[in-house]
Amino acid sequence: MAAKDTMTSNPAPASELDRDVIGSALGYGAGDRGHGGGADGARAWSAIDVREVCVSTQDEVRRLAQAAGPDDCGWWLAVADRQTGGRGRGGASWYSPAATALHLSLGCRLDLPLEMLPRASIVVGLAVVHLLDQICGVTVGLKWPNDLLIRGADGRWRKVGGVICIAEPVPGQPTGAATAWFAGIGLNVSTPATSFPAALRGHATSLDRPVDGPIDRSFLAGRIARAVRSAVRAWQKAGGALDLAAIDAALCFRGEVVDLDVGAPAVTRAVLDGVDSSGWLRVSPLDRAGHRDEGAQSVLCRPLAIVAAASDPPWCAAPKMASPGGCQENDPRREPST
């Protein structure tokens, strides 16, 4: 499928990230050097860090936040070609190849009740889903709570990316004041299928598979950051309310029987109905035949994660190794870190 936007036009070399291209996609000119202006808002981006390699973009964006002044109301962005110590959910190791994946983290100070912040992974994931459809023409699904999947020609969902969000108090600020919030996003952009580690082959994919032409990672980084910022601002303006219709439309496995990790040795099996206003899942119990119990009502479920659709191979039971898009260290239910 051909791209819908300038996504594949005059792409930068695959091995390089171009700070000016990122800045242009964010909405500021090359001469602004770090502060977003124009249509995206004056001084929208307080600090931007683009580097070839880092331990973790989450560490880098937190460093930018710590260096910001107490009156800084802008956003911070860190983008890297490669990470050496990216963190995955449940202690998963991180597969982070250079030149073919995208790693970025952005953050700001959010003025929302702490109990609402765990929903942020869904907000960020949905923003990325919509952005990839808009500029790449790719249909990406949101696997609750924070994975991004693409459905292949064989009907199976494969992981292309993921989101991780953390929140922490701002040093020196009183309790209840704005919270420092950070989102990490990883995407497999053009990683060859044969280069994935054995544990990921068949379970991970890349964004360029359904796209006709090369993908400019610099342009993609800027557009994703801009889309996420816009979505988070709208979410904040709405008082932390979720767009349930949009989430349900993007939700992977909706209407299917899924296995849910509830923290017990065995998984819980149910029909996935959708997402509740709190960010938790709505599920329907099964009858003895393993089908939806038509006589039962949908109930609220608070699992750690969806393991897989029951009809799929148990791909999440593979050895713990996160793809570059596997920023799944914390789910949207995790309490903000302190």
Instruction: For residues 253 and 56, give the distance between their C-alpha atoms in angstroms, rounded to a whole number.
Output: 31
Residue that is written with structure tokens 């302190």 in the block: 338
Confidence (pLDDT) at 199: 75
Single-letter code of the amino acid located at 184: G
Confidence (pLDDT) at 5: 47
Residue 330 exposure: Cα atoms within 13 Å on the Cβ side: 19
**Ramachandran sector of residue 11 (left: φ over 0; alpha: ψ -120 to 50; beta: rest):** beta
Confidence (pLDDT) at 265: 79
Confidence (pLDDT) at 41: 44
* CATH ID of 254-312, from 3.40.50.300, 3.30.450.20, 2.30.30.140, 2.170.120.12: 2.30.30.140
* 245-279: b (≥16 Cβ within 10 Å) or e: eebbebbbbbeebbbbbeeeeebbebbbbbbbeeb
Confidence (pLDDT) at 10: 37
Confidence (pLDDT) at 218: 95
**Ramachandran sector of residue 113 (left: φ over 0; alpha: ψ -120 to 50; beta: rest):** beta
Helix (H) or strand (E) holding 101: strand 101-110
Per CATH, the number for 19-249 is 3.30.930.10
* Positions in the chain short of pLDDT 70: 1-15, 28-43, 87-96, 171-177, 210, 212-213, 311-338
Confidence (pLDDT) at 233: 94
Q: Do domains 19-249 and 254-312 have the same CATH topology?
A: no
Phi, psi of 70 (to 5 degrees): -65, -20
Paired strand residues for 47 = 76
Paired strand residues for 158 = 150
pTM: 0.84
Q: How far is CA 213 from CA 10, 98, 194, 218, 230, in A?
A: 10, 19, 19, 15, 27
> Residue 307 corresponds to which tokens in the numbers above?
């393991």
Residue ranges per structural domain of the chain? 19-249, 254-312
Confidence (pLDDT) at 40: 47
Instruction: For residues 175 and 163, give the distance between their C-alpha atoms in angstroms, rounded to a whole number.
Output: 27
